[in-house]
Amino acid sequence: MDSEPNDNNAEEKKNPEQAYREWFKEFIRQNGIPLDARYTVIAIVDFTSTPFRDTSNSVLRLLQGTEAEDNPINQDSQQRSPPDLERLKVYCDASDCIMYLSITLNLTAQDLSPLAGVKDNSMVEKDILSLLEHQNFRTLLFTFLTSDVVVILNDSRLLTTAITSTLRLLSALKRKIFPLLGHLEEKLFGTDADSSQVEIGQGFSYFIRKVPVLSFVFHGIPSTITTPQFQQNLESRIQLLFRACGMENYDRLYKHDGRQLFFLPPSSLSYSFVHFSSWKVESNPVTDLLSHYFCGFETEKPSWEEAGQDHPNIHFGHVNALRNQLLEWAKKSYELKNKNQRNFAENTVLEIDSWINASAFLFAKIFIPVFNADRKKSVEEVVYRRLKEYIELDRQVSLSHCKQAMNKSIDWYIAGCPPHYTEQLHEHKVKSKRNNSSGTVASKEDNVNRKDQEKHSKKPLFDDKPRSSRKSKRGRGSGKYGREGRLKPNGYLGIEYDNTTNGSPINAQLQRIIIVTPGAPISCVLSPSVKIELDEHTVTIPLCDKEGFVLPKESVVVLRLPYIYYDGQTPISPPTEELKAKFNLAKHFLSTHINEAS
């Protein structure tokens, strides 16, 4: 009694790749096929639009051309599905050394059985249907990567948007995972392909370089319209469609690209990849009832009754021709002999054992388990997790943005504000700008300069010192500090202050600080200050209130603050009352600190 749970646990802990490999080897052994046999893999993809149809048996009968009662594929021992691949059915034809992979994309009653216990829960239904869709898509990718020939079965004369969009998505995905295929060959076969050749889809051997040949079978088409001219027109339209979508790009030299999802035979080789069959898929009372219900209870006669025939096997002529062509195409591959010469090269069909190992590796990489999120979690937890992700992302973006902005700001400051910005240099820049501008731009600049001079000539810059002891150099600047830290045009670039000790003027260049607020949903508070150095002592004087001022988000603010010089007795700065009090505190701090140090 105790051994059974242990066996179950061992099965659960078994690696999916190992379980897949063991299942396939057991399947091959039951069919009496040696592992060193070389088999051709033909995949059949059913895009039939009729719901609840399982056409796997019918398609295999079409390719074999045998009657239903004599067909051995009805036996469970010869047609089964690998583990975790319920959408895929495998059948081995030992007489012709062919392995068929059949996949049906229609929903069956077994697929929708989990919805039976769901009551009024649309989210659960969406989860179940999304899992089925993911399973179908991964099975399709696995089929295109492991097959020699892919046959698409459709019940219409034209390709639907579902087929073209699915193939285009698969083609883009294969180009993304192509380096994985190189790792696969290196791991399984011990080959080491050149990286430059791998990027263009070359340099591989075995089945990795081989691109499957694509063929279409349109079933249920009356034999009266399946003329050779209609077949050629449909082939040319399909080629133009795939070429426009970027999925089929051969040239007349048969250039091979291993990154392609499939390959269409060129018309010059007289191989047809479009075939018709007037026989419809096999009937089933339950599926017929469901399909009639979803189609509005419209009944249709079988195609062989419309054509006046007695049995569908009469119309197997086109399908037998298709089967012979598929076998011939599967034995050849478009490979590159050298860089200058392109032609057909005989391909070595992979052994069953090697194919199982390679497909098992792909199976483990493609069929990753997909789990639905637990919807019992609180809304707050989900919201907090999302906010945390956004905040972390915003921090990274802001950090990168600020690093770049700081370098640009430093360069801008050094280039725009040299240590000695004289009146001649300023006039030269203004003159150069006036000469480079023309028309209304120059007149506007003159009006702005004139109004700026009139404005500042009537109102002195500093009111605490007499005008005779102050010399101001007026001119156009890039900005002046405002109340809220916003950019205000037209300010003073350089100001000269008189030194009270010896009477010689000292140039106090205005310091320009450029602040770039990151594009984050927050505001920054800035508290600028000036450092005064005396011998080995340094004191920091704030230039605004304790609260600072708020910088608006997503803005660029330019602050213009003066340098402060200290000559040992009094600081030389704009003599406002607020700064005077702060400088007195700084002077008292410095004198106290010096006395304590002495």
Mean pLDDT for the stretch of residues 42-67 = 58
Rounding to the nearest 10 degrees, give the CA dihedral for residues 422, 424, 426, 431. Answer: 180
Which residue, 481, 571, 485, 578, is CA-closest to 531? 571
Distance CA 55, CA 471 (A): 97
- Tell me the per-residue pLDDT of 471-491, one tens digit each, with 9 for 90 and over: 333 333 333 333 333 333 333
| Alpha helices, H only, 417-491 | 423-436, 440-458
Residue type at 457 in one-letter notation: S
CB contact burial 362-384 (16+ within 10 A = b; e otherwise): bbbebbeeeeeeeeeeeeeeeee
Query: Of 41-45, 90-94, 410-414, 572-576, which range is least confident?
Result: 572-576
Whether the per-residue pLDDT at 382 is higher than 60: the answer is yes
Max avg pLDDT among 236-245, 345-354, 364-373, 404-413: 236-245
- For 319, residues 6+ apart whose C-beta sits below 8 A from its C-beta are 62, 63, 65, 217, 275, 277
Number of domains the chain is built from: 2
362 φψ region: left (φ > 0), alpha (ψ -120 to 50), beta (else) = alpha
In a domain, 126, yes or no: yes
Query: Of 30-44, 174-188, 453-467, which range is least confident?
Result: 453-467
Residue type at 240 in one-letter notation: L
Give kind and range of the element (H or E) at residue 345.
Answer: strand 345-346
Q: What confidence category does residue 590 fall into, taking pLDDT thresholds of 50, 70 and 90?
A: very low
- SS3 sequence of 373-412: CCCCCCHHHHHHHHHHHHHHHHHHHHHHHHHHHHHHHHHH
Distance CA 105, CA 576 (A): 82
In a domain, 267, yes or no: yes
Mean pLDDT for the stretch of residues 307-333 = 50
Start-to-end CA span in the chain (Å): 92
Max avg pLDDT among 51-65, 71-85, 139-153, 464-478: 139-153
pTM above 0.75, yes or no: no
| The pLDDT of residue 42 | 82
Which residue, 8, 12, 110, is CA-closest to 52? 110
Mean pLDDT of the chain: 58
Residues 329 and 421 in one domain: no
| The pLDDT of residue 10 | 46
Which residue, 472, 454, 453, 452, is CA-closest to 462? 472
Residues 351 and 458 in one domain: no
In a domain, 373, yes or no: no
Which value, in Å, is the radius of gyration of the alpha carbons in the chain? 40
Q: Which of 324, 346, 366 is the last residue before a domain boundary?
A: 366
Residues 340 and 479 in one domain: no
Distance CA 312, CA 305 (A): 9
Residues 211 and 96 in one domain: yes
CA angle (548 as vertex; 547, 551 as ends), nearest 5? 130
Whether the per-residue pLDDT at 229 is higher than 80: the answer is no
| The pLDDT of residue 184 | 64
Residues 432 and 304 in one domain: no
Mean pLDDT for the stretch of residues 364-393 = 60
In a domain, 405, yes or no: no
Q: What proportion of the chain, given as a percentage, has pLDDT over 90?
A: 0
Whether the per-residue pLDDT at 433 is higher than 60: the answer is yes
Residues 432 and 340 in one domain: no
| The pLDDT of residue 117 | 59
Residues 435 and 509 in one domain: yes
Residue 498 C-alpha from the chain's centroid: 65
- Tell me the per-residue pLDDT of 141-167, one tens digit each, with 9 for 90 and over: 888 888 888 888 777 666 777 788 888
CB contact burial 293-316 (16+ within 10 A = b; e otherwise): eeeeeeeeeebbeeeebeebeebb
Q: What confidence category does residue 134 fall into, taking pLDDT thresholds of 50, 70 and 90?
A: confident
Residues 360 and 457 in one domain: no
Residues 93 and 240 in one domain: yes
Query: Of 204-208, 233-237, 390-394, which range is least confident?
Result: 204-208
What 8-state DSSP symbol labels residue 212? P
Whether the per-residue pLDDT at 252 is higher than 50: the answer is no
In a domain, 1, yes or no: no
Q: What confidence category does residue 270 fall into, taking pLDDT thresholds of 50, 70 and 90?
A: low
Burial of 352 (0-12, 13-18, 19+ CB in 10 A): buried
| The pLDDT of residue 502 | 44
In a domain, 18, yes or no: no
One-character DSSP codes across 249-281 = ---TT----TT-S-B---GGGT---EEEE-PPP
| Strand partners for 92 | 99
| The pLDDT of residue 119 | 57
In a domain, 101, yes or no: yes
Between 342 and 362, the higher pLDDT residue: 362
481 φψ region: left (φ > 0), alpha (ψ -120 to 50), beta (else) = beta
- SS3 sequence of 94-129: CCCCEEEEEEECCCCCCCCHHHHHCCCCHHHHHHHH
Residues 338 and 424 in one domain: no
In a domain, 322, yes or no: yes
| The pLDDT of residue 469 | 37
Whether the per-residue pLDDT at 306 is higher than 50: the answer is no
Residue 237 domain boundaries:
36-112+119-366
Residues 432 and 352 in one domain: no
Q: Which of 366, 392, 409 is the last residue before a domain boundary?
A: 366
Query: Of 11-25, 418-432, 520-534, which range is least confident?
Result: 520-534
Residue type at 27 in one-letter notation: F
Whether the per-residue pLDDT at 538 is higher than 80: the answer is no
Q: Which of 366, 395, 430 is the last residue before a domain boundary?
A: 366
Mean pLDDT for the stretch of residues 367-373 = 58
Residue type at 172 in one-letter notation: A
Residues 428 and 354 in one domain: no
